[in-house]
Amino acid sequence: MFYLYLVFLIARSIAYPRDIPLHIISTFDLDSKGTEVGPMKDETPKAKAVTGKKDNFVTLGLRTGHMQGQSGYLAAFFQIFADEDISIDITGTSDAEIGASFSDPAANLSRLIGKLETLGEVTIHNSSALVALVGNRLGRTRSLGDFFNVLHRHNIPVQQISKSPNDCSLWTEVPNDNYNEAVTSVYRELNL
């Protein structure tokens, strides 16, 4: 049997056959059983783990009144990131704003902002972290509400949210300074 041990898992960072389980454990607690990811043995809707990335992410917002009903607007936004060779970690949209988070230390922010300003008003802030709740069919559980209630009780601001289409993960952005408290509080209070 094949086992792979990681501190955290980012979905796009590894490809593996679906019939081989992937075991995720913390390097801080090597004796723990960790979390097994693989063929779904238990399809019960529930949260299973909390994870994240603390890399001083940049969060960028593009506000415009020209996006609603226009085809190609998102393509233009993403093309600017492609031209700058910047990989986006989280994105979110509404009818008037696009948000993106990324952690590329080589990114030329002033050039990126200049290009994006041709599409609308740009807001930007640095020093963010990503926190994720991972599980089965999260949308059918109380876990999503409980996740945000924990962050609220600890006065941890949520800056951007992205839920996976397969209902297995919810990512949110928090200030970098609140990362450790966010992950440990969610872990303890949701009994993960």
Q: What is the pLDDT of residue 7?
A: 38
CA distance readout (Å), 14 to 17, 21, 22: 10, 13, 10
Strand order in the sheet with 97-102: 90-93, 97-102, 46-63, 121-136, 169-175, 160-163
Q: What is the DSSP letter of 31?
A: T
Q: What is the pLDDT of residue 6?
A: 36
Q: Where are the domains of the chain?
A: 1-39, 56-127
Q: What is the pLDDT of residue 19?
A: 62
Q: Higher confidence at residue 13 or residue 120? A: 120
77-131: per-residue pLDDT in tens?
Answer: 999 999 999 998 888 888 788 888 888 888 899 999 999 999 999 988 778 888 9
- Going by C-beta distance under 8 Å and a sequence separation of 6 or more, which residues neighbour residue 130? 52, 53, 54, 57, 89, 90, 101, 171, 172, 173, 174
One-letter amino acid at 32 equals S
14-52: per-residue pLDDT in tens?
Answer: 454 556 666 676 666 677 777 766 665 666 777 887 888
Please say whether the dihedral angle defined by the alpha carbons of residues 114, 119, 123 and 127, taken in this order, is positive or negative. Answer: negative
According to CATH, the topology of domain 56-127 is: Alpha-Beta Plaits (3.30.70)
Q: What is the pLDDT of residue 1?
A: 29
